[in-house]
Each structure stands twice: as C-alpha cells, then as structure tokens.
Amino acid sequence: MRHWALDVLACMYCKHYPLKLVILKSVEEDVSIEGISIPYCRNYCGYLKEHIVKDREYPCRECLRIDIEEGILYCSKCLHWYPIKNGIVVMMPDNKRNKERDLEFLKKHIDHIPREVLKEGKPYNLETK
C-alpha cells in the first residue's frame, strides 16, 4: 500500500474520510515519477496527513518511494479498522472477517495500535468476548 491510497479510501461503514494510518513496517523503493503530475493526490496527502492546498509543493517524490507492507487503517469516527498485510489493505465486510486472525493481529501489534482501536475498534477489539 502507498500513502496515496488515503486520498481515495473511506470507511466502508460510515463513509468517513480520510482514514487514519499507522505504519508498522515499510520499505523504501526506487520509483520513477517521470510523467506523474504533482501533486499526485487530488484531495488528501496521506504522507503529510493534510488536505491538498492549491499551488503548494508536495513531497511526492519521497512519498511514492514508501511501500507500506504492514499497518492498520482505521476510522476516527466509528472506529472500524482494516489491517494492512503484505502491502494489501484488507477491507472486507465484518461478516467476512476472521475474528481469530484479527485479534491475533491486534495482539501482535498492541504497542503500536491506538488505544481506542484496541478497546473499542470494530469489528473486533481486545475487549471483545
């Protein structure tokens, strides 16, 4: 996953935008931005965590080099969360999520995931019975 995904992704449940990102593992790659219009994002810069402002310069060259291999996206409004595994955001309906895998993911990264997601996140959290 790349930061630019935050420019297009919204919560599946309440449609809140933009989602919050916690990076757990990332790598820098050599990426050519030749022919890419800058700013790459249209409405929201996930790298700087701010809305795009016309006529401002953005660090797209640095941003596009970062591949987020593992992390979590979450909605600050309804607290639905979506894991990022092997560079892929797992955005599935609650009834298609695997409770055991989701809880294992939260436990594995307990020190890096925001407290409100650990306690109140949906569809599962560490308070879930």
Which helix (H) or strand (E) segment holds residue 101: the answer is helix 99-108
Residue 29: per-residue pLDDT: 93
pLDDT for 129 equals 66
pLDDT of residue 18: 98
Q: What is the mean pLDDT of the chain?
A: 95
Residues 2-42: pLDDT tens digits?
999 999 999 999 999 999 999 999 999 998 888 888 899 99
DSSP H/E element including 26: strand 20-28
* 97 vs 45: CA distance, rounded Å: 28
pTM of the shown model: 0.93
> Residue 63 belongs to what H/E stretch?
helix 60-63
pLDDT exceeds 80 at position 57: yes
* Dihedral sign, Cα of residue 6, residue 20, residue 82, residue 78: negative
- Token pair recorded at residue 85: 């595994």
Token representation of residue 45: 């810069």
User: DSSP strand E in 75-119: where?
Assistant: 81-85, 88-89
